[in-house]
Amino acid sequence: MTLRSRAASLLREPLVHFMIAGVLVFALLAGRAPDAGERRIVVNAEVVSRLLNRFTESFHRQPTPQEMDGLISDYVHEQVYYREALRLGLDKDDEIVVRRMRNKMIAIATNDAEAATPTDADLQKLLDKDPGRYAREPKVTFAQLYLGADSPATRAAARDALAVLRQGGDAARFAQAVPLNPRYEAADADSIGATFGDAFALALRKLPRGEWTGPVTSGLGLHLVRVDAVIAARPPTVAEARQQLANDWHEANVRKAEEEAYRKIVDGYDVVIEQPK
């Protein structure tokens, strides 16, 4: 069934006729003959399809005929109350209405920005503006041998172990059994920092490549380290940082739209703030 024929068939529903008749009766009782203007509530195909869409958006399915009747009935109730409330001036100086209107204006002002999709060029511009924020972290490939808490004895063990390692020997007997990996492959600075502490992650990048060195101090104690490769921090491509860029772009875009809209409107107003005497 197409939307249009569905709406048409709804309009033929007896309940709908009954409700519309009810509206007329209500309007008569309210004291004034209905005219063709604001006191005429028409549930036409357009209204029905709007109600239908709202329902399907919320519930991801078509309403049953009973539910559709309910939606129409509710719509009529809403219009009756709403229009009568406006006629009685209930919207004036109502702080909730004022706040709603403000929110509605903001929503209208930012609607385009909310729905806007950034182009790659937009994201590239954002990326170029603050490359540090989006920089891919440096990655380090390294081997480490944990010796224990810093003490004269540990430092002595570090010297001995270093000598063994530099001669290509096996220094496993010096290692402490800890839940650390002997080798980390292209580990990013964040994850190294989380395991060893940030100072250690930083220190690694300054060590010579390809040779055992140390002891290097971490938040855990002393280590011997062999850094095999450092992939330097670099600005990412848009594709790599798309999510973060899009989140930031979106946030900034909405904020900008809101500020601009306000500035444009407030320019047309004469704001006088009277200081209390």
| Site for other proteins, rule CB under 8 A | 57-60, 74, 90, 94, 96-97, 99-100, 103-104, 107-108, 111, 114-118, 146, 148-149, 172-173, 175-182, 190-191, 193-197, 200, 218-221, 239-244, 246-247, 249-250
87's tokens: 């006629």
Min separation Cβ 254 and other proteins, Å: 9
Min separation Cβ 248 and other proteins, Å: 10
| Residue placing its CB nearer to other proteins in the complex, 28 or 172 | 172
| Residue placing its CB nearer to other proteins in the complex, 60 or 277 | 60
DSSP secondary structure code for residue 30 in this structure? T
Give dist(CA 267, CA 275) in Å, integer.
Answer: 21
Min separation Cβ 176 and other proteins, Å: 6
User: CB neighbours of 166 closer than 8 A, spacing ≥ 6?
Assistant: 211, 212
| Residue placing its CB nearer to other proteins in the complex, 60 or 206 | 60
Query: Omega into 215 within 30° of 0, i.e. cis?
Result: yes
| Residue placing its CB nearer to other proteins in the complex, 97 or 156 | 97
91's tokens: 């919207």
Cα torsion 212, 217, 220, 224 to 10°: value is 10
Q: Is 103 exposed, middle or buried (0-12, 13-18, 19+ CB in 10 A)?
A: exposed
Min separation Cβ 178 and other proteins, Å: 5
Min separation Cβ 107 and other proteins, Å: 5
DSSP secondary structure code for residue 229 in this structure? E
Task: Give the CA angle between residues 69, 72, 78 to the nearest 5°.
Answer: 140
Min separation Cβ 95 and other proteins, Å: 9
Min separation Cβ 59 and other proteins, Å: 7
- CA neighbor of 141 nearest in space, from 192, 175, 179, 178: 192
| Residue placing its CB nearer to other proteins in the complex, 104 or 234 | 104
132's tokens: 């540090």
| Residue placing its CB nearer to other proteins in the complex, 10 or 238 | 238
Contact status, residue 207 vs residue 213, Cβ threshold 8 Å? yes
| Residue placing its CB nearer to other proteins in the complex, 172 or 229 | 172
